[in-house]
Structure 1
Amino acid sequence: MAPTPTVADRNERALDEPANPVLVQLDGVWRTMEGTEPIHAVANVTLRIERGEWWSITGASGSGKSTLLNLIGCLDRPTQGEYRFDGTDVASLSDAQRAGLRARHLGFVFQAFHLLSTRTATENVMVADLYRRGPRSDRRERAREALVRVGLGSRLDASVTRLSGGERQRVAIARALLGRPDLLLCDEPTGNLDSTTTGEVLDLLEELHADGQTLLVVTHEADVARRGGTTAAMSDGALTVVRAGPEPAATTGPGRTP
């Protein structure tokens, strides 16, 4: 007799079923750091992100915005409240299942790029497939296609040490896009860039969004936040929407429009 599927098994399978229009649903989520005096890094946050939306979250250092991104990215667990990703109750998943969710459905872009300095642009993007266990046969070709998509077709075999800051961030974005994630999470993606290069990276994010990519960008820069559709501000762990965006574009899958 086949074993009875657990709640976690059913939830994990749900991620492979037809897309839910609501990608991220947080209800009354808290993240409390215990100590002599508990610190509520995220305090009673309720949030709903639909496919095709671009959310920007702003706030001063220590406001809780990066902690919230870590919760949504399944890099941390809430102390209290419910988090559903594409209809899946994330709390019911094991650590291995959460890692699988991150690998198959989420892409990450960070301020510090996190590239391998001894490798080429293509090899840095290929690294993502090692974690996703993508097919080896076309790993290099898919990495090159991702780099072409972000405008680095002429820099495929360049060492990352010879790339500009903007080019390095484009490599990081290509790496994040390799698995065609449902949600692209960007933590201060322009924090290390000058104003001109910042504009170029934001133009790229706009192109991705126009193609149907769902985006969540954490930033302390007002100009960066204004590029997105919906802006929410964090203060002392609480989240408040300060600018509502337009209706999301209809999508047929990760990063695709009909």
Structure 2
Amino acid sequence: MAISTVEATGARVAVVTGGSGGIGSRTAVRLAEDGLAVVVGYTANRDAADAVVTEITANGGAAVAVRVDVADEQAVAAVFDTAEDRFGGVDVVVHAAARMRLSPLADLDLAVLDDMHRTNIRGTFVVARQAARRLRDGGAVITFSSSVVGLAFPEYGAYSASKGAVEALTLILARELRGRNITVNAVAPGPTATELFLQGKDAGTIARLADQPPLRRLGTPADVAEVVAFLAGPGHWINGQVVRANGGIV
């Protein structure tokens, strides 16, 4: 576990899963820019998580990196324990950890399906349960769906099914937290230039996907992090929604 040398006193606190790369890492840095202390949850890449912590602390922020299997309830509880012990509580939960494997349904290895759904569905339930129990009133929960739920791309069946489950859970949690002034929303990025998205795609496929939105480009992790930062902040009335941050792709 890597810990910053900067203590956060009276700051809002965010837990970001999947915080070592892609959208999660940019989100962690962006929330720190807004003054939040950040717990950077990572699965395996400790060096990348430590780099996020270093970037945050170099700019005067507070951060800690903690390894976590998001589908393990004890491990997720320990992440919240770290946030409470180190920074005093949890105000924002951003659940960005996910797996994506593509296959036609006829060829899908069910072991791959089980592994992906363990992270994407069970992991979301486990993180959301801790958030519901331990988030301070006035906070925010942001989960991640995907615009492919509506786009129905071939070979995305298993992944899209898992993200459809995330959307359903998110909208229900928003209603279950009624009366606590906690917003719960999902962000559904479109094609975004992350390692997870780019893996296994040739240049022609990437160019075709980049040309689909009216903005005619892939999104960037920073684009999506701006949306998350807005939803994590106070002063808005967006709750129980799926925000499709996809450049206008339909």
Give TM-score, length-normalised by structure 1: 0.32
Rg larger in structure: 1
Higher strand share: 1
TM-score, scaled relative to structure 2: 0.33
More RCO (CA 8 Å, sep 6+): 1
